[in-house]
Amino acid sequence: MATRTLTSRRQVRRWVPDQHGAWAMLGLPFVAGATLGGWRAAHVWLGLLWLVGYLAFHAAGRWLRSRRRARERLPLLAYGAVCAPLAAATLATSPQLLVWLPAFLPLLVASLWFTARGAERSLANDSVTVLAAVLMVPVAAEVGGNGEPSEVLVVAAVLLAYFLGTVLYVKTMIRERGRSGYVAASVGYHLAGTAGAGWLAATGRQSWPLVVVWVLLSARAVTGPACNARRSRPLRPAIVGVGEILASGAVTALAVTGAA
């Protein structure tokens, strides 16, 4: 029974990513951009393309990591086939989005290159994927057509800063657990982020509650790895991921409402 369950989970992971925190990074920039720009029916096509495109990207990564084995090819082909009509529908309803292709394409190629070289968990690749995800803020806002460019830019910058910090924090909790250099980098980064949030609030570009959240994130950057280091076993990635989803939701909500 245990073997059958393990096999079933492996089959699911071929089709659906099991990185819980990644779903927040996928969805929240899209929601933020659509909210700032104004929700429209065209967002349905963009959202579906974004979702299926992510699944195709995940499948491509698994295929590359498996050294192009045939058993990993089916999800890639299936999702790729669905992406084609979704892309056509998205461009038919929002043809102006074609100008974003030169921004996304190099990031996609770079990430797949890192994956092919076995560096899919590297800090560089994580940074590339974060940048690609946050680009969805201005893209979704452009579909709505009513977003103030300066507000969209500030929200995108806040989410970019937050998700890059998440990369560092999660590494201190899982893959780089116990490495003081990573902890110091994470703490320093979050303190800088707190200062940046304070500047945005002081200049009227964001609200002070966002600064409070960044203070809490900085405290977490210190206490999280310290508490985790004292455990006989580190926290499971699923638990860390759920925490990131909650924190991501709070930062996104405050960033959007603070920019309004």
Euclidean distance between CA atoms 234 and 194, whole angstroms: 27
Q: Do residues 133 and 164 both lie within one domain?
A: no
**Of 123, 147, 171, which residue is a domain's last?**
147
119-148 tens-digit pLDDT:
988 999 999 999 999 999 999 999 999 889
What pLDDT, on the 0 to 100 scale, is given for residue 8?
57
Q: What angle do CA 2, 16, 122 make, to 5 degrees?
A: 100
77-114 tens-digit pLDDT:
999 999 999 999 999 999 999 999 999 999 999 999 99
**Of 106, 129, 147, which residue is a domain's last?**
147
> Which pair of tokens denotes residue 108?
């996609």
**Of 120, 147, 174, which residue is a domain's last?**
147
- What is the 3 state secondary structure string of 67-97? CCCHHHHHHHHHHHHHHHHHHHHHHHHCHHH
Q: Do residues 140 and 28 both lie within one domain?
A: yes
Q: Do residues 116 and 207 both lie within one domain?
A: no
Q: Is the pLDDT of residue 68 over 90?
A: no
- Higher-pLDDT residue of 123 and 68 is 123
151-171 tens-digit pLDDT:
999 999 999 999 999 999 999
Q: Do residues 55 and 98 both lie within one domain?
A: yes
Q: Do residues 154 and 138 both lie within one domain?
A: no
User: Which pLDDT band holds residue 48 (cuts at 50, 70, 90)?
Assistant: very high
Which spans in 117-207 are helix H?
Answer: 123-134, 136-144, 149-173, 180-202
Q: Is the pLDDT of residue 230 over 90?
A: no
What pLDDT, on the 0 to 100 scale, is given for residue 255?
97
Of 233, 221, 213, give the one whose Cα is nearest residue 158. Answer: 213
- Residue recorded with tokens 């089959």: 11
Domain that holds residue 223: 148-260
174-195 tens-digit pLDDT:
888 888 999 999 999 999 999 9
What pLDDT, on the 0 to 100 scale, is given for residue 229?
83
Q: Do residues 210 and 113 both lie within one domain?
A: no
Q: Do residues 196 and 218 both lie within one domain?
A: yes
Q: Do residues 101 and 161 both lie within one domain?
A: no
Q: Do residues 157 and 126 both lie within one domain?
A: no
Mean pLDDT of 19-46: 93
Q: Do residues 153 and 247 both lie within one domain?
A: yes
Give the total number of structural domains in the chain: 2
Q: Do residues 60 and 165 both lie within one domain?
A: no
Q: Do residues 80 and 107 both lie within one domain?
A: yes
